[in-house]
Amino acid sequence: MSERYKVLGSLILSMICWAFSFVWIKQAFASFNPLTIVVMRLTISAGLLFVILKLLKQLVSLRKADLKWFILLAFFEPFLYFMGESFGLELVSSTVGAVIVSTIPLFAPITDKVFFKSRISWANILGIFVSFAGVLLLIFKDDFSLAAPLKGILLVFLAVFAALGYSVVLKKVPNHYNSVSIIMFQNAIGLVYFLPLFFIYDLPKLGDKVITAEAVYAVVALAVVASSLAFIFFTYGMRKIGITKANVFVNMIPVFTAVLAWWVLGEVLTFQMLLGIAIVISGVFVSQIKVRKRGI
């Protein structure tokens, strides 16, 4: 198999893994509360990645001087990101959640402009407006009432904000750390953020719901596939073609999620939803168009 097909295959696999995560979270809700899901997910993922790094002798020791960046990194993702995503998906459909999350690469140029003085092209601006129109189609019904609770929509957008903050802090992390070590450290530190909340709010309720095999499978799949393998696949592809080109593949997540949510969860897909998905994805593609020497 040629290098090109390996890269494309790894990126597409990572998108399918993350698309499944929106479905698995819904299945896990049948037996577990959001904080419980996140704590189990991070525990399994951090442990698995540690073992993999040790076996491959790729684990990079965490320097004391860099600890502050990892603490801040873990605050944005997984802590703030999972708080928004997990609690948001309790209130909105998997498809709507995936579409909102897919706007992350759309807003990335804005954070680059604010923090790193990068140029925002007119294609970026046009893409933002086009995608915003698509999001409006998804969150509003024909009578202009909200198709999902505002709280749920805002919580998922909190995940988007967290991912943008994460991307800013990530640039402060020294280059000598490999990507898998970074993910392992951020998941382990993120677990420390979540544990107090878990012990206060979720642990007393742990026996309130019937624990099913499907829900346990969903949590394990979230940890192994979405929080571990997907990042490894994506990191491999990103290193080969660059972060900008790799981020374009994120546009595939809501498409895969819509199909999986319809197939596995029985979520209804209306023409308005499909149109909204298409417009959002189009906007993100437009934002990636290279425009020479034009922008703000």
Alpha carbon of residue 111 to chain centroid: 17
Helix (H) or strand (E) holding 230: helix 230-241
In a domain, 72, yes or no: yes
DSSP character string of 19-61? HHHHHHHHHHTTT--HHHHHHHHHHHHHHHHHHHHHHHT-PPP
The three-class DSSP label of residue 146 is: strand
* Range(s) of the domain holding residue 54: 3-287
Q: How many domains does the chain have?
A: 1
In a domain, 149, yes or no: yes
Q: Is residue 186 in a domain?
A: yes
| Domain assignment present for 295 | no
pLDDT of residue 115: 86
Please tell me the predicted confidence (pLDDT) of residue 291: 61
Q: What is the pLDDT along the chain (296 residues), one digit of tens a residue?
A: 678 888 889 999 999 999 999 999 999 999 999 999 999 999 999 999 999 999 999 999 999 999 999 999 999 999 999 999 999 999 999 999 998 998 888 788 888 888 877 777 788 788 888 888 888 888 888 777 888 899 999 999 999 999 999 988 988 899 899 989 999 999 999 999 999 999 999 999 888 899 999 999 999 999 999 999 998 888 888 778 777 677 778 878 888 898 899 999 999 888 888 998 899 888 878 876 766 555 66
Asked if residue 294 belongs to a domain, the reply is no
In eight-state DSSP terms, residue 202 is I
pLDDT value, residue 293: 52
Establish if 141 belongs to a structural domain: yes
**Whether this model's pTM surpasses 0.85:** yes
For residue 296, is it within any domain?
Answer: no
**Residue 22 belongs to some domain of the structure:** yes
Give how far Cα 67 sits from Cα of 58, 121, 172, Å: 19, 35, 11
How many helices (H) and strands (E) would you count in the chain?
Answer: 14, 0
